[in-house]
Amino acid sequence: MGDATREAEPRVDGKDAQVNQDVLIMEQQRQIEEEISDAIPLVGAKEDLLGTLEKEYISDPIYSMKAKDLSSKYNSIRRTRPDGNCFFRAFAYAYFERLLTCKDDYKGFYDIVSKSKDDLIELGFPQFTLEDFYETFMEVVERIGSGDMTQDELYELFNNQGQSNYIVVYLRLITSGKLQRDADFYLNFIDGNRTMTAFCHQEVEPMFKESDHIHIIALSAALNVGVRVRYMDRGDSAQVIAHDFPEGATPAVHLLYRPGHYDILYEQ
């Protein structure tokens, strides 16, 4: 009986065993990354930039040098959770925070976003998909415009998973709409033979998908909000290079990019 049982057990050859081991390792890595990510606030408190980065890169002379350069232009940093949504969340928080005190920018922004749902429906987005995200987004925008929101309330709202993610989703949809409306231009930024609709369905609209230049260009153009991104990398230059989106725009939002991640910067 024992021999028969052993013979009936499935055999796993070396190749299959290696595949199973690889899958197990990848699953463990994913769980570790999720645990680390979940332990980080969606949007963190404002921190002293030089002190924070010097401590982080104490044994890294290249990044320490670049942290000093960055500190000559910015005095604070606000971290965001590294969950694939960091660009959209950082953009939204930084710009909403600006609108709390910079009322001159509010009307133009409100005019754009208030009609954004109709623009998306015109492009073929289903209304029932948009409704809840649009209403949550506009509720926050209108509270900011009425003066009925404090810095602390904005911080609390963005660390509420449900509300914060609804804002991110709606910005992803606005970005997708811009890319599809001006597809002839933006197709130049896409590798391969994908249609713009396919690209948006796969790389823009889903949550937790990381953002690239094309996302930043499209969102900043759609909302008419200038974004300056400082790129901190291992290049030879002692300076942290900046790119403005759209090109030539006055930046209202300042972000720090380190490979795969965006945080918020505050000027001197």
Q: Which domains does the chain have, with CATH numbers?
A: 47-79+227-267 (3.30.200.60), 82-225 (1.20.1300.20)
CA 112, 114, 117 angle in degrees (round to 5)? 100
Phi, psi of 56 (to 5 degrees): -65, -35
Tokens 């369905």 sit on residue: 201
Could you read off the pLDDT tens digit of each residue along the chain, which spans 268 residues?
Answer: 444 444 444 454 555 656 577 667 667 766 655 666 678 999 999 999 999 999 999 999 999 999 999 999 999 999 999 999 999 999 999 999 999 999 999 999 999 999 999 999 999 999 999 999 999 999 999 999 999 999 999 999 999 999 999 999 999 999 999 999 999 999 999 988 899 999 999 999 999 999 999 999 999 999 999 999 999 999 888 899 999 999 999 999 999 999 999 999 999 7
Task: Report the predicted TM-score, pTM, of the whole model to 2 decimal places.
Answer: 0.87
Rg of the chain in Å (alpha carbons): 22
Closest alpha carbon to 260 in 242, 235, 233, 238:
233
Active-site residues, by number, are 83, 86, 261
Residues 6+ apart with CB under 8 A from 230: 70, 73, 74, 240, 241, 242, 254, 255, 256, 257, 265
Residue 215 structure tokens: 């996302």
